[in-house]
Chains A and B, each alone.
Chain A
Amino acid sequence: MRNRDAGARSLLWLQSGGCGGCSLSLLGAEGPDLATALEGAGIDLLWHPAVSEANGSEFLDLLQRIVDGEIALDILCLEGAVVRGPNGSGLFHVLSGSGRPMMEWIEALARRAGQVVAVGSCAAFGGISSGGGNAIGACGLQYAGARAGGLLGEDFCSSNGMPVVNIGGCPVHPNWVIETLAQIAMGELGRDALDAFARPRSYADHLVHHGCPRNEFYEYKASAEQASDLGCMMEHLGCMGTQAHADCNTRLWNGEGSCLRGGFACINCTGPGFEEPGHVFGLTQKIAGIPVGLPTDMPKAWFVALASLSKAATPKRLKENAVADHIVVPPKTREKP
Chain B
Amino acid sequence: MSRRVVGPFNRVEGDLEVKLDIAAGKVCEARVVAPLYRGFEQMLVGRDPRDALVYTPRICGICSVAQSVATARALAALEGVAPPDNGRLSTNLVLANENVADHLTHFYLFFMPDFAHDAYRGEPWFGIAGERFKAARGTAAAEVLPARAEFLHLMGLLAGKWPHSLAIQPGGTTRAIEPQERIRIGALLHAFRRFLERTLFGDELEAIVEIGSADALMRWYGSGDPARSDFTRFLHIAEALQLERLGRAGDLFMSYGAYDEVDERLFRAGVWQGGERMPLRPESIHEDLAHSWMGLRSSPKHPYEGVTVPAVPTEEGYSWCKAPRLGGRVVEVGALARQLIDGHPLALDLVARGGGNVRSRVIARLLELARVTLAMERWAREIVPGEPFCHHGALPEEGQGMGLIEAARGSLGHWIGVRNGRIHNYQIIAPTTWNFSPRDSNGVPGALEQALVGAPVREGERDPLVVQHIVRSFDPCMACTVH
Contacts and interface: CB of A to CB of B under 8 A. Distances in A.
Given A19-B64, A49-B10, A128-B55, A264 B136 contact: no
A22 interface: yes
B321 to A, nearest CB: 13
Given A19-B64, A35-B136, A50-B11, A254 B152 contact: yes
Contacts of A280: 48, 50-51
Contacts of B44: 132
A227 B169 contact: yes
Interface string B264-303: 0000000000000000000000000000000000000000
Given A19-B479, A56-B462, A129-B38, A226 B392 contact: yes
Interface in B382-431: 385-386, 388-390, 392
A261 B152 CA distance: 15
B61 A171 contact: yes
A253 B105 contact: no
Contacts of A131: 43, 55
Contact of B167 (A33, A48, A264): A264
Given A253-B156, A263-B167, A325-B390, A53 B172 contact: no
A149 interface: no
A18 B38 CA distance: 8
Interface string A248-283: 100011111111111111010100000100001110
Contact of A52 (B135, B163, B468): B135
Contact of A281 (B46, B50, B136, B175): B50
A258 B11 contact: no
Interface string B231-265: 00000000000000000000000000000000000
Interface stretch (B139-147, B214-222, B349-357, B434-442): B139-147
A187 B170 CA distance: 48
B14 interface: yes
Contacts of A226: 390, 392
A292 interface: no
B156 A257 contact: yes
B142 A56 contact: no
B388 A325 contact: yes
Interface string B164-175: 111101011111
A53 B116 contact: yes
Which one of A20, A35, A91 has the greatest number of beta carbons of chain B within 10 Å? A20
Given A136-B39, A228-B173, A264-B174, A24 B8 contact: no
B112 to A, nearest CB: 11
Nearest to B86: A325
B5 interface: yes
A326 B149 CA distance: 27
Interface residues of A, number: 82
Interface string A38-51: 00000001011111
A242 B250 CA distance: 55
B61 A259 contact: no
A260 B60 contact: no
Chain A: interface secondary structure?
loop
A29 B148 CA distance: 10
Which one of B157, B172, B385 has the greatest number of beta carbons of chain A within 10 Å? B157
A69 interface: no
A22 B61 contact: yes
Nearest to B188: A255
Interface string A82-117: 010011010111111100001000000000000000
Interface string A109-147: 000000000000000000011011101101000000000
Contact of A262 (B39, B64, B116, B166): B166
Nearest to B116: A53
Contacts of B48: 280
Interface of B: 5-11, 13-17, 33, 35-39, 42-48, 50-51, 53-55, 58-62, 64, 105, 109-110, 113, 116-117, 134-137, 141-142, 145-146, 148-150, 152-167, 169, 171-176, 178, 310, 312-313, 320, 385-386, 388-390, 392, 462-463, 468, 479
27 contacts: A16-B36, A19-B64, A27-B149, A28-B152, A51-B11, A52-B10, A53-B113, A56-B463, A59-B8, A83-B37, A83-B38, A91-B313, A93-B36, A94-B35, A135-B43, A252-B156, A253-B162, A254-B154, A254-B161, A257-B160, A262-B159, A262-B166, A267-B54, A280-B48, A281-B50, A281-B51, A282-B50
Interface of A: 2, 15-25, 27-30, 33-35, 45, 47-60, 83, 86-87, 89, 91-97, 102, 128-129, 131-133, 135-136, 138, 170-171, 226-228, 248, 252-265, 267, 269, 275, 280-282, 325-326
Q: Which 8 A-B pairs have the closest CB atoms?
A: A262-B160, A21-B61, A132-B43, A96-B7, A257-B156, A263-B174, A254-B156, A253-B161
